[in-house]
Structure 1
Amino acid sequence: MTRRSASVTQGIEKAPMRSLFYAMGYTKEELDRPLIGVVSAHSEIVPGHYHLDKIADAVKAGVRMAGGTPIMIPSIGVCDGIAMGHIGMKYSLASRELIADSVETMALAHALDGLVLVPNCDKIVPGMVMGAVRINLPTVVCSGGPMLSGLVDDEDISLSKIFEAVGARKANLIDDEKLEEFEQGCCPGCGSCAGMYTANSMNCLCEALGIALPGNGTIPAVHNGRMRLAKHAGMAIMNLVEKDIKARDIVNERSITNALRCDMALGCSSNSVLHLLAIANEAGVPLDLKRFNKESEKTPNLCHLAPAGETHMQDLNLAGGIPAVQSELAKKGMLDLDVITATGQTLGENIKNAKNKKPDTIRPIEKPYSETGGIAVLFGNIATEGCVVKRSAVAPEMLTHSGPARIFNSEEEAIDAIYKGKIVGGDVVVIRYEGPKGGPGMREMLNPTSALAGMKLDKTVALITDGRFSGASRGASIGHVCPEAANGGNIGLLEEGDIIEINIPEYSIHAKVSEEEFAKRKEHYVAPEPNIKTGWLGRYAKIVDSAAKGAVMKQEF
């Protein structure tokens, strides 16, 4: 096989290119080996990325041990927790596209032979995977691993608890001293926050897709196993390059089906819907929202990690990790075990010795939390193209709910009303103009959902938005409403007091407003001006597609 890097390292006419490598201290021997891009999102602003320099170094060691030349390439990364609740969150989902584009740019511009992706948090994981699948190079994902849970009052806690503590403090259910205790105790060190939030969801789903080695999603950031995994990832990419096993050989229709079923079994973040749609789009695999319900109907939910339950990622790791979850699903023939993975072996070979070591963390498939999966997509007259809820994190009494709409045209308006005690049991909080286009950027709504939970309203109040939710959100938090308000969706025509009927088991969401009344309101409807018109977010708002399609960039203008 001719190496891609030969176009910059081999032959008389490539002498100028080699001279630039020599300027950085590369040797002739290094340039005669495959060039492997190690794409690292290391920074000093994201706890999940703070240690990625060490992970990347371990990957590079593995590449060298297996006969390759590693080349570190940086990536940006937004910390969703720090960006939460202000203009910063508008940049988070949108940054996924910048990351995908930068992976494509750096890998093709420099003729790399393969990639090891070293992300950890939220949009960085799918962004890197999207770029790699797009250009179809041999690729392995090696994340930085989850954070350990914190401890307050002898209770294991993670990031969601401090957001909920803010709501509790606003309601005077706790004092400043207790708030400070949560603040100091919930995040004990580096890694992606310890619950089944978006970052850990996507790192686990990279395993399910087969593009990461077993252990990628669950080995804690601070464990020595994480460093060993990184070295093995560096060795694994050399095997894939030698065998010419590329990203789309691994990420395809069969492996995406496996990932959908693992998603349902794990109870992943609702954001996983956006990201699996986007990855499938890059892989050329047809996928729509109805498919999620189809898989949910036949895939049992086996895990209730925080915020749905009391267990955290280190518990899932001790239980056997994703291979143990996959072995439970395999008992009933729910996975395609013949797909090729980043190990160079099939999924069946990877999990042949996997065992569920903690049935209280991973329920046996014969005794699931529910017979249906962790995510549901609802349809109705205010979401004709669908909306998404993390069903496994909804209290049983809120699976069906009817109440009056409380209308807010931004997250700030809603959180102000919640903090001032203006939301009462039975209400349905509607936050609109926060979609991919209207936001722009489709902000996460962890502040409002956590405030409701902290005020003990999560079992009586629903929240609906054309924005989205953090994986740390719990309760009847229904996001991704499509069409969004900024695209003329009926959510933009709702009025204060309209009765909203939610039936999650029936995949239904409906406003008791007639088609004639909606048509009448539309005649007088005036959409507000976009709140950001400049910079790249202004451009993003013009070319982003619907959340029902993964909020990817439109290919035709």
Structure 2
Amino acid sequence: MTDFKPAAWPRKLRSQEWFGGTGRDAIYHRGWMKNQGFPADLFDGRPVIGIINTWSELTPCNAHLRDLAERVKNGVWEAGGFPVEVPVFSVSESALRPTAMMFRNLGAMDVEEAIRGKPIDGVVLLVGCDKTTPSLLMGAASCDLPAIMVSGGPMLNGYFRGERVGSGTHLWKFSEAVKAGEMSPEEFVEAEASMSRSPGSCNTMGTASTMASMVEAMGMALSGNAAIPAVDSRRRVMAQLTGRRIVQMVKDDLKPSDILTKKAFENAIRTNGAIGGSTNAVVHLLAIAGRVGIDLTLDDWDRCGRGVPTIVNLMPSGKYLMEEFFYAGGLPVVLKQLGDAGLLHKDTLTVSGGSLWDEVKNVRNWNEDVIRPVDNALTPHGGIAVLKGNLAPKGCVLKPSAASKHLMKHRGRAVVFEDIDDYKARINDEALDIDETCVMVMKYCGPRGYPGMAEVGNMGLPPKVLRKGITDMVRISDARMSGTAYGTVLLHTSPEAARGGPLAIVRNGDFIEIDVEARKVHLDISDEEMQRRLAAWRPAVEPPSGGYALLYHNHVEGADTGADFDFLKGCRGAAVGRESH
């Protein structure tokens, strides 16, 4: 069991530094708040709960969060707290350019300073879209006030002509079908209506549902939070219960640093393998760990992921969607099966105040085709694989559950795209010298290179190959890919090309060998030739002229450590600043 000891109550709360007493500053703070009609007794020392909301109509996955915020408020009121809604920067995966990942750290900075600078004692983090989950958790971890997360939930299943349609997954599938001549552009447009037919985030095991699962596995959300559909009434109940729970967490002084231990991160890594989760979880968990001072590395991802079976039969690895996952029992069933298999630290603490195992030990699996038994896994070795070698000295990652078995050991001729624009200009050219045995290589799409490390790593195949009925090839880049995507794709190659990593000096015609079982990726040139090319390399990416883009360029770290800013590592606490009016 956990050894957490709740703090004594009552005690003076942080918000009383603003609202307590009869001095001029206290009257200043209370007086302005009262213009909203708040009664005087709300400032009497009860916990002030910040509802950190990433609602935005330009973040479609989060566009329903205003309703959930009201449900959270109801719970806070019921538990004797004082809820205040605080809007923060909303990182939109579908609408933000050049790429949402470039602004994850900006969102985290906004959250951190909003928490630190305002009179709040604990926070409920309202998230949904891919980057909002890590950005809010990173910011909250940097302040270490009591915090709990509630997700917006996935959208309903999509259907097109009798076929399940997974958001994102079928976007890539149908797009390739159009290029192969198997689907008309008109049919593609017709299918669009079935891809996003309700509020919520992606209905596949994409990055949004993966990160919701990571949060639950680490103990930072109430049990069952990850899978409830956005429009299900139980999502509103979850929000209300979360509002109740945060008030008690403030009274107990239960903080992220109490929950986010090394064991908690290891539970999340194993869970990611079991659910067939997104490779994006790698960079996000590394960044979150950096905020709480946990020494988490790519080697931990490989160590903990080895031998973990993928048991959740969801797109892009399987055939079902998040609705079926919820009806089967959701993440608690996965955690129960991992625990029964000896793959879970059972004694880790959660926001409930109890252990993770206590939350899941009695759950049942209601559909063993959606959540398979360990001995009938979708993939017996589904954990994220970390490959290293002379092409990726600091590592690159691959998602075995979404890859092709026949390509897990492969040697092929490199077809090199110098950047994303070069790829777009040449990929549809019938004269392109490429076949299915080649290895597609794309450079300058890492954290500094794109900038922002865009989700372009799952490069679409050339039409001439697709017309043969080929659906997968080995692809290597320093980019990311959507959690909804699939294929034998090596990502996050570190050091990235823009920092002079070996990826930058790969040439057309070089041979590249990958061996996933041996965790090896090798550029087949001599050490002497490697050194000659590296010595001749010159940066191809010019620094931005100013603004946030320049800050990002100068301070973003590599993908192998989470692509956070170097000056944001570690917890800076939530000390009250001095003030006088």
TM over 0.5: yes
Does 2:14 correspond to 1:4? yes
Who is 1:440 aligned against? 451
1:446-461 matches, within 5 Å, as: 448-449=459-460, 459-461=471-473
How far did residue 417 of structure 1 move?
2.5
1:39 maps to a residue whose letter is I
Segments of 5+ residues of structure 2 without an aligned counterpart are 1-10, 570-581
Displacement, 1:183? 1.4
Q: Does 1:507 align with 2:516?
A: no
2:65 is aligned to 52
DSSP 3-state at the match of 2:541: coil
Closer/same/farther in 2, CA of residues 277 and 449 from structure 1, 3 Å limit: farther
**8 Å contact from structure 2 (residues 427, 461) kept in 1:** no
The unaligned stretches of length 5 or more in structure 1 are none
Cα offset, 1:451, TM superposition: 7.5
Percent identical across equivalent pairs?
Answer: 34
Matched pairs, number: 552
Distance 2:469 2:510 in 1: 20
Shift of 1:297: 1.6
Structure 1 residues 485 and 247 mapped into 2: Cα distance closer, same or farther (>3 Å)?
Answer: same
Kept after mapping to 2: 8 A contact 1:376/1:390? yes
Residues 27 and 295 (structure 1), Cα distance of their counterparts in 2 relative to 1, 3 Å cut: same
Deviation at 1:5, TM superposition (A): 0.5
Higher mean C-alpha deviation, range 210-219 or range 181-190: 181-190
Shift of 1:171: 2.9
- 1:395 and 2:408 matched: no
Q: Note if contact 2:282-2:562 (Cα within 8 Å) is conserved in structure 1.
A: yes
Residue 373 of structure 2 aligns with which residue? 364
Moved more, 379-388 or 11-20: 11-20
Following superposition, the deviation at residue 272 of structure 1 comes to 0.3
Instruction: Tell me if structure 1 keeps the 8 A contact 2:307–2:383.
Output: no
Q: Distance in 2 between matches of 1:489 and 1:533?
A: 24
Structure 2 CA distance for aligned equivalents of residues 472 and 276 of structure 1: 18
Trace 1:250-289 onto structure 2 (pairs within 5 A): 250-289=259-298
Moved over 6 A (4+): 450-458
Question: Once the 2 structures are TM-superposed, how far is the Cα of residue 47 of structure 1 from its aligned partner?
Answer: 2.1
Code of the aligned partner of 1:124: T
For the residue of structure 1 that corresponds to 2:86, the secondary structure is: strand
Alignment correspondent of 2:336: 327
Cα 1:556–1:111 change in 2 (3 A) is closer
Q: Quote the offset at 1:414 in angstroms.
A: 1.4
1:2 maps to a residue whose letter is: K
Q: Any conservation in 2 of the 1:41–1:75 contact (CA below 8 Å)?
A: yes
1:156 lines up with 2:145 in the alignment: no
1-side partners of 2:535 and 2:162: how far apart?
A: 57
Aligned residue number for residue 204 of structure 1: 213
Using a 3 Å threshold, how does the CA distance of structure 1 residues 378 and 201 change in structure 2: closer, same or farther? same
How far, CA to CA, are the matches of 1:454 and 1:388 in structure 2?
A: 25
* Structure 1 residue aligned with 2:30: 18
Would the alpha carbon gap of residues 79 and 456 (structure 1) be closer, same or farther in structure 2, given more than 3 Å must change?
farther
- 2:113 corresponds in structure 1 to 105
Counterparts in 2 of 1:302-381, with a 5 A limit? 302-381=311-390
The question of whether the paired residues in 2 share the 8 Å contact of 1:195 and 1:472 is answered with yes
The answer to whether the aligner puts 1:142 opposite 2:154 as a matched pair is: no
Distance in 1 separating the partners of 2:500 and 2:196: 41
Larger displacement relative to structure 2 (210-219 or 173-182): 173-182
Paired with 2:459 and 2:506, the residues of 1 have a C-alpha distance of: 20
RMSD: 1.9
1:366-403 Cα deviation digits (max 9, x unpaired): 33233323311110111000001111100111212221
Which SS does the other structure have where 2:299 is aligned?
helix
Residues 556 and 158 of structure 1: CA distance in aligned 2, closer, same or farther (over 3 Å): closer
Contact 2:423–2:442 (Cα < 8 Å) also in 1 = yes
What is the CA distance between 1:241 and its match in structure 2?
0.9
- Give yes or no for contact 1:163–1:446 (8 Å, CA) kept in 2: no
CA distance in 1, matches of 2:549, 2:348: 38
- Per-residue displacement from partner, 1:150-170 (whole Å, max 9, x unpaired)? 101211112221233223223
Structure 1 match to 2:529: 517
Find 2:299's aligned residue among 262, 267, 290.
290
User: Quick one: structure 1 residues 192 and 418, their matched pair in 2 at CA, closer, same or farther if it must change by over 3 Å?
Assistant: same
Change in 2 beyond 3 A, CA 1:389/1:461: same
Distance in structure 1 (CA, Å) of the matches to 2:114 and 2:92:
23
Letter in 2 for 1:37: G
What is the distance in 1 between the residues matched to 2:471 and 2:188? 22
Structure 2 match to 1:122: 130
Greater CA drift, 53-62 or 440-449 = 440-449
Aligned to 2:244: 235
Query: 1:458 Cα shift?
Result: 6.2
Which amino acid in structure 2 is aligned with residue 443 of structure 1?
A
One-letter amino acid matched to 1:115: V
Matching of residue 96 in structure 1 with residue 109 in structure 2: no
The question of whether the paired residues in 1 share the 8 Å contact of 2:98 and 2:451 is answered with: no
Query: Which residue identity does 2:36 align to in structure 1?
Result: M
Q: How far apart are 1:416 and its partner, in Å?
A: 3.5
Q: 1:137 corresponds to which letter in structure 2?
A: L
CA shift in 2, pair 1:189/1:446, >3 Å: farther
Partner of 1:183: 192
Q: Taking structure 1 as the reference length, what is the TM-score of the superposition?
A: 0.95
Classify the secondary structure of the residue corresponding to 1:298. Answer: coil
CA distance in 2, matches of 1:359, 1:387: 33
Shift of residue 531, structure 1, vs aligned partner: 6.6
Q: Does 1:34 align with 2:44?
A: no
Q: Which residue of 2 aligns with 1:80?
A: 93
Q: What is the distance in 2 between the residues matched to 1:301 and 1:102?
A: 36
Residue 67 of structure 1 pairs with residue 77 of structure 2: no
The separation in 2 between residues aligned to 1:467 and 1:204, in whole angstroms, is 23
Aligned 8 A contact 2:14 2:121 in 1: yes
**AA partner of residue 523 (structure 1):** A
Letter in 2 for 1:169: V
Equivalent-residue separation in structure 2 for 1:475 and 1:415 (angstroms): 19
State the TM-score, normalized to the length of structure 2: 0.91
**Separation in 1, partners of 2:170, 2:461:** 8
Aligned partner of 2:436 in structure 1 is: 425
The amino acid of 1:130's aligned partner reads: M
Identify if the C-alpha distance between structure 1 residues 521 and 450 changes in structure 2 by more than 3 Å, giving closer, same or farther. Answer: closer
* Distance in 2 separating the partners of 1:479 and 1:284: 25
Call closer, same or farther: CA 1:89–1:215 in 2, change over 3 Å: farther
Q: CA–CA distance in 1 between the matches of 2:215 and 2:80?
A: 25
| 1:109 CA displacement | 0.7
- For the residue of structure 1 that corresponds to 2:566, the secondary structure is coil
**Taking structure 1 as reference, are residues 197 and 541 closer, same or farther at Cα in structure 2, changes over 3 Å only?**
same
Give the match for residue 7 of structure 2: none
Q: By how many angstroms is 1:457 displaced?
A: 6.9
Matched, 1:493 2:501: no
CA distance 1:346–1:250, change in 2 (3 Å): same
- String of CA shifts for 1:260-289, please: whole Å, max 9, x gaps: 111111111000000110111111110110
Q: 1:449 to 1:73 in 2, by over 3 A?
A: farther
TM-superposed CA distance for 1:450, in Å, is 7.8
- Which deviates more from structure 2 when the two are superposed, residues 258-267 or residues 270-279? 258-267
Distance 1:414 1:304, change over 3 A: farther
Q: Is the 8 A contact 2:461 2:473 kept in 1?
A: no
Secondary structure at the residue paired with 1:48? helix
Shift of 1:311: 1.0
